[in-house]
Each structure stands twice: as C-alpha cells, then as structure tokens.
Structure 1
Amino acid sequence: MRKIVTGRHLVARSAITLVAGVAAAGFLVAPTATAAGIDGYAPEVARAAIAELSAQEGISPEAVVEILRTQDASVRTLDQVTGRLGARTAGGYLDAKGKPVVNVLDAAAAEDVRASGAEAKLVRHSTAALASAQDALESVPAVKHTSIGLDPKTNQVVLSVSDVATGGDLAALLRTADQLGDRVRVERVSGEMRLAIYNGEAITGGGTRCSVGFNTNRGGQNYIVDAGHCTRAVRQWNVGPSQGASFPTNDYGLILNTTGSAPGAVTLWNGSTQRITSHATATVGQRIQKSGSTTRLTSGSVQRLNVTVNYAEGSVHQLIQTNALANPGDSGGCLFSGSVGLGITSGKGSGTSYYQPVGEALAAYGVTLNS
C-alpha cells in the first residue's frame, strides 16, 4: 500500500541520512552500564535493543548484552564452517544465546563442526532437497498473501498461508506441500502481506512519501539505495530523480542524491547517529534493528531467509523475514545489526517484516556504502 501525502508535504532534512528512530516512549530503559561496550553499536541503539529484546524474549538485559557481544563472531564462524564443508552441511543459524549451530548430514561432518567451536545438529534434509521443495512450491501459480521461505532451525521450508490468501490456486499449493512430506511445514497466519511503503527520514515526490535507505556512491556521485516499489512509483523526489527500479521479483531501486549530503550513518532522531561501516548477509537467529518513520527503531530476530512473498502487487523473492515491528510508513529504510547493514524494508505480514538483502542491490547498481 502506498501512503499518499495530503495537505502539508513532509520534507526531508537537508542533511539526508540513513534512518532509524528511537521512539520517544514505549521502550523500557536499560541501565546505561549494560549498554556500554558492545562493539559496533551506538549507545542509543544498544539501549533500545537491550530493552526491547529483553521484553520480547523474556531474558535479562545482561543476557541480551552477551548475545549482542557474541553474535558477530558466531556469524563469522557459521560462514567459515559452512563454506568449508559445503554440501556436507544444510545451513545454520544462531541459537537462543547467539551461538552458532550448523546443520550436518553425517557424523564425520558433525565432528568437523564441533572442532571449529560450533554446535553440530544432525538433520535429515540436505540444502539441495529443501531447495527442490521450495522450487516445487514456487512452480504453482502464485497465491496472494502467502510466503515460502527456509527455516534452518527445523530443517524445513515453511509455507505461510494467510486467512485472506487469494488468487492463484490455493488448493494446488496445499496439495503440493502435502506431497513434499516433512520437507515442508504449513503455517496459518492472519492478515495481509503488504508493502510497508516508506521509512525513516522522509523523501517526497508526486504526492508520495518514502524514505532514505542506504547512502552510497559510484565514481564520486552519491546515490540512495531504496525500495524498488518506491522508485518505480515516483520519478522525481525532493532529493533527486529515480535512476532505477527492480520490482516485483526484487525490491530495490536507486535515487540520484543531489542534496550534497550523504553520510553513512543512521539518524537516531535525537541528534546522534549509528554508523554503518559494512554490509553482510543476514543469519537466522541474528538479533537485528529496523528503522522507520512510523515505528521508528524496533528490534527483533531474523526468522527465515530466501523468502518469497506473494504481495498483491507481485511476488518478490529471496527476502529476509524478521519479527521486528514494521508498519505502513516504514518501507525503503534500513535493516541492520549494529554497524552492519543487512537489508532494505520491503513489506510486512502478521507479526513479520520482510527485507530486500542490501548486498544484492549494491551489486546490481555497482555502488558502495558511504562511510
């Protein structure tokens, strides 16, 4: 759904920044001492993440701090182990304490994983078998308000079907899921899966409001990487013209930034910022932050990867799914973990939010993150 600006237009600040917001109310304030010393996290981001994740997960603020301090090294371990073992693994994730778990297919691979300092979990289905199951589900004509994604924690592909699912052939989709046996889990959810258009510090054009995603550059020229459904809808923004749009299938776009300001930092709405110094792929179980002008700074965890979401406007593939709160007004902005950029806000479901991996967008346009 596209938010239309009526009456007084919301105008972006002259200094355009990546956007995350700290809500003025609604967060429990963790003690300052617990927010100190988390590498890559601005103190304000750490405090908000500690408070929200502690409430969501029912754990102490001190436990959240330990998770946030642990997970970056855990992600690196996962990447190294799964890269080295290749097809002998079936993906991996971070457990409730932020520690790495690698799915393996045999005892020898399990020993190798344990020797690397990660937990090994023996599973039944290979990456190839799960990919084949996902391909089979996606070969059925798309049904609006459904999604299909990989859950390495259960070693399954998850088919989420909303109670308002329409179009395509829902009966055929469910039949296919049943035929694939325990490689697929069907999950019933409520509400629409919709584009959560606009995020963060507002940009406007043609009566429409979206938001800055990631400030980038190419050959000395600044660009904004944003949601494709935003840049497809509007040719000229108050910060510059749209230069590209990939939507549906993907959900990324490019805006020429003519403002003369493009810092590589997330505004926190209180005069301070969170630097973004790199980008990476997301990991299931990773604790993350999401920014947006409607819900501002929210926190959560990565739930699934390689998710296909069948919006009413078209299907988008290979998205990141999280349980961080997002609402209309949040699209285009940043998914990040401390100083690491992960994705661009695409849409929302019931208790879920979806993100375009930022690395794919950077590669498509040949741009690099501003520092």
Structure 2
Amino acid sequence: MRKIVNGRRLAARSAITLVAGVLTAGITAAPAAGIEGYATEVAQSAIADMSTREGISPAAAAEILRTQDASARTLGQLSDRLGDRVAGGYLDANGKPVVNVLDAATAEQVRASGAEAKLVRHSSQALASAQSTLESVPAVTHTSVGLDPKTNQVVLSVSSAAKGGDLAALLRTARQLGDRVRVERVTGEMTLAILNGEAITGGGTRCSVGFNTNKGGQNYIVDAGHCTRAVSQWNVGPSQGASFPTNDYGLIRNTTGSAPGAVSLYNGSSQKISSHAPATVGQRIQKSGSTTRLTSGSVQRLNVTVNYSEGAVRELIQTNALANPGDSGGCLFAGSVGLGITSGKGSGTSYYQPVAEALTAYGVTLNP
C-alpha cells in the first residue's frame, strides 16, 4: 500500500545510505549469535515472535531458525527430482521438510531422503486447475486465491468488504470444485501497502526501498510496481520501470552513490542480504518497512492472486507478518536470504512479490 503524505512533501535527505529496502545511515551488520546468516536483532525478533505466537521456548525457536534453510533446500531438491509424483511441500512446526506425495512408493523415496512424506489426494496439476477455474470467474475486489500445501487445497479468501453479483458466481464455482477448494471468510479490505525499510518519497507519496541491485556498474532499487508506476521521480532517483497490476515490481535508478546489500533494522544495525530464494510455506520470515519497521511471522500460502481495487496481482507470497501503509516496496527476508517485495495487506495478512521475478525481469543482481 502506498502512503500519501498529507499536505506536504517529505523533504529528501541530503546524504542517504540505501540499505536493502531501507534508507538508513551508518549501519553495520551484527553477527547473529549461533544462528548462521542472522543478525542478532533479526534472530531476536524472530524468536520473540515464535515464542509469543506459537507458545514455544526461545531455545526451540532458535533451533527452527538453524534448521529451516536446509529444510527448504531439501524440499526444492526433492520436488525437482520426483516431479509430478509430489504435490508441493512445506515446513512443519519444527522447521522440518514435509513433502506431499501421491503414492506409497514415492513416500518411501522421500523418507529415505530424510524428509517426512504425507500422502495427499490432489496433485499439483489438479490444484492448479482449480485455481485457474476460480480465477476465470470475473474478479471480485477484496478476495484472494492461493495454494495451501498443508491442507492440499486452494484457499479462496473472501473479505467482509467483498460485494457484488460476481461474488455469488465465485462462491458457486468454489462449491463446484469440491474439496480442492476451501472458502475462508476474513474481515477488512485488501489494500496496497507501500512498505519496507526506511522511506523514499516523491510526488507527495511515501514508499520504502526494496532491494539494492546493480547492472553494468549502475545501482538500481527493485521496488513495488505500484510505487514506481505512481511516481516518476523519487528522492533517491528516477523510476525506470513498473509492472503493475498482474505483477507488482518496478525499478528505480539509484543516484545517491550508496547501495549496500543490507536491510535496516531501525535500531542502528542491519541484516546483510547475501542471496535470494523462493519462499516456502511454514518458513519463518522477517519484514522491514518504514511504517511498521522490523516485524516477523511465517509464510502461509504461495501463488496467491490478490484482487486489489487497482487490479489483480498474481503469484504473491502471503504471510502473517504485520505490514501497514507506507511499507510498500520493502524487503521480505529470512535471515540473509531475500524473498520478496512488499505489495499489500489484508486483515492479519501481508502480501509480497517474489523478488526473483523482478531481478530476472530487469537483469539486475543483488548488491553485496
């Protein structure tokens, strides 16, 4: 969501240090105590969130952070090797890999690789077909459709703000698809959120810096497309591209002379971003934004289509991390691994454009 600055334009800073998704000054990365790839403050935020939200001990939460990156890689490797014999996967409550399989023989192969196998009814193709059918119905604002591998279903989320004749057709279609689809009722609107890191401003609008990148010696910021479409000149440089709706990524040419690959934690320190990867359901994540600053949560769904008032955006990541207006464009990450760019929010949810798609689209690479 983009935050509009009422009555005045925020002044641009004369000296700006862009730290992956945030404007910040004089930030240095602090090593995480005992958790590889995590700055101390990020690990502390994630552990506190898990202890509060999930009721687990700090020691158990820390062990999940140590485990989940390898678990996510295991899921990817098994999915690549076993192909359409698997139907997705996720990380369990302990951060361990669970692979959905369609037959007992594949389950044995999964277990032999050290992961848990779960026999499910619906193939990835069947769920993709169900999602495509739902998305063929005329779009209803304030609804979303996404994949939940934990239940082996497509989830249709319908907000209390969703209304109109097409809503009846959408719900009727969901019923016709049987147990491949679960309907979930939520409150509030689904709105764009301009977040992540410290603020960038332009044209009376505030967003947050996404990921610092480069191409051919020139620094760029990959950000939310609804931000770069709305504003041509930011206090950090001009917009160079926008893909929105359908996608939600854009590009800003960074003219400040500073673009380290790190995320501001809003306490004088930062988290280094050294790589990027796809998000995994169940993965514990962090988000940095200029309104809500550093928040933590977990990935709930993937491949989510969100029907904003401005248009549908597809293939988003859904999490339960807090995000609010002014955060748009900011970083979603898990320790040192970049995952996404803040797009919008619902009631108790937040949505992110996968960062890999934006990097590929613009031919840019993450800054060290």
1:141 and 1:281 map into 2 onto residues whose CA distance is: 29
1:364, CA displacement in angstroms?
A: 0.3
Contact 1:18 1:212 in 2 (8 A): yes
1:2, CA displacement in angstroms?
A: 3.3
Q: Which amino acid aligns with 2:3?
A: K
Q: Which amino acid aligns with 2:45?
A: A
1:214 and 1:166 map into 2 onto residues whose CA distance is: 36
Cα separation, partners in 2 of 1:125 and 1:327, compared to 1, 3 Å: same
TM-score by length of 1: 0.94
TM-score by length of 2: 0.95
Q: Deviations over 1:188-236 (max 9, x none)?
A: 0000000012332111111111111000000110000000000000001
Contact 1:20 1:296 in 2 (8 A): no
Contact 1:10 1:203 in 2 (8 A): no
Contact 2:101 2:120 in 1 (8 A): yes
2:182 aligned to 178, 182, 185, which one?
A: 185
1:270, CA displacement in angstroms?
A: 2.4
Q: Equivalent residue for 1:115?
A: 112
Alignment of 1:83-98 (within 5 A): 83-98=80-95
1:42 aligned to 31, 39, 43, which one?
A: 39
Contact 1:216 1:369 in 2 (8 A): yes
Q: Equivalent residue for 2:235?
A: 238
The secondary structure found in structure 2 opposite 1:166 is coil
2:111 and 2:236 map into 1 onto residues whose CA distance is: 51
1:213 aligned to 190, 210, 214, which one?
A: 210
Q: Equivalent residue for 1:253?
A: 250
Indicate whether 1:364 and 2:361 are aligned.
yes
Contact 2:201 2:207 in 1 (8 A): yes
2:237 and 2:277 map into 1 onto residues whose CA distance is: 27
1:103 aligned to 80, 100, 104, which one?
A: 100
Q: Equivalent residue for 2:8?
A: 7
1:20, CA displacement in angstroms?
A: 6.5
Q: Which amino acid aligns with 2:129?
A: S
Contact 1:137 1:176 in 2 (8 A): yes
Q: Equivalent residue for 2:273?
A: 276
1:171, CA displacement in angstroms?
A: 0.6
Q: Deviations over 1:98-153 (max 9, x none)?
A: 00000000000000000000000000000000000000000000000000000000
Contact 2:89 2:98 in 1 (8 A): yes
Q: Which amino acid aligns with 1:176?
A: T
Moved over 2 A (4+): 10-13
Alignment of 1:167-186 (within 5 A): 167=164, 169-186=166-183
1:130 and 1:50 map into 2 onto residues whose CA distance is: 33
For these two proteins, the number of residue pairs brought into alignment is 361
Q: Equivalent residue for 2:283?
A: 286
Q: Deviations over 1:291-317 (max 9, x none)?
A: 111111110000000000000110000
Indicate whether 1:163 and 2:163 are aligned.
no
The secondary structure found in structure 2 opposite 1:112 is helix
1:155 and 1:195 map into 2 onto residues whose CA distance is: 28
Unaligned runs of 5+ in 1: 22-34
The secondary structure found in structure 1 opposite 2:267 is coil
Contact 2:50 2:297 in 1 (8 A): yes
Q: Which amino acid aligns with 1:257?
A: N
Q: Which amino acid aligns with 1:37?
A: G
Alignment of 1:15-30 (within 5 A): 15-19=17-21
Contact 2:21 2:212 in 1 (8 A): no
Indicate whether 1:144 and 2:145 are aligned.
no
Contact 1:214 1:369 in 2 (8 A): yes
1:92, CA displacement in angstroms?
A: 0.2
1:20 and 1:71 map into 2 onto residues whose CA distance is: 26
Contact 1:335 1:345 in 2 (8 A): yes
Q: What CA RMSD, in Å, does the superposition of the two structures yield over aligned residues?
A: 1.7
Identity of aligned residues (%): 82
Contact 2:2 2:327 in 1 (8 A): no
Unaligned runs of 5+ in 2: 24-31
Contact 1:214 1:225 in 2 (8 A): yes
1:20 and 1:185 map into 2 onto residues whose CA distance is: 37
Contact 1:10 1:202 in 2 (8 A): no
Contact 2:21 2:330 in 1 (8 A): yes
Q: Deviations over 1:81-103 (max 9, x none)?
A: 11100000000000000000000
Cα separation, partners in 2 of 1:74 and 1:168, compared to 1, 3 Å: farther
The secondary structure found in structure 1 opposite 2:52 is helix
Contact 1:304 1:322 in 2 (8 A): yes
2:164 and 2:358 map into 1 onto residues whose CA distance is: 29
1:46 and 1:199 map into 2 onto residues whose CA distance is: 18
The secondary structure found in structure 2 opposite 1:74 is helix
1:8, CA displacement in angstroms?
A: 5.8
1:280 and 1:168 map into 2 onto residues whose CA distance is: 40
Q: Deviations over 1:214-269 (max 9, x none)?
A: 00000110000000000000001111100000000000000000111000011222
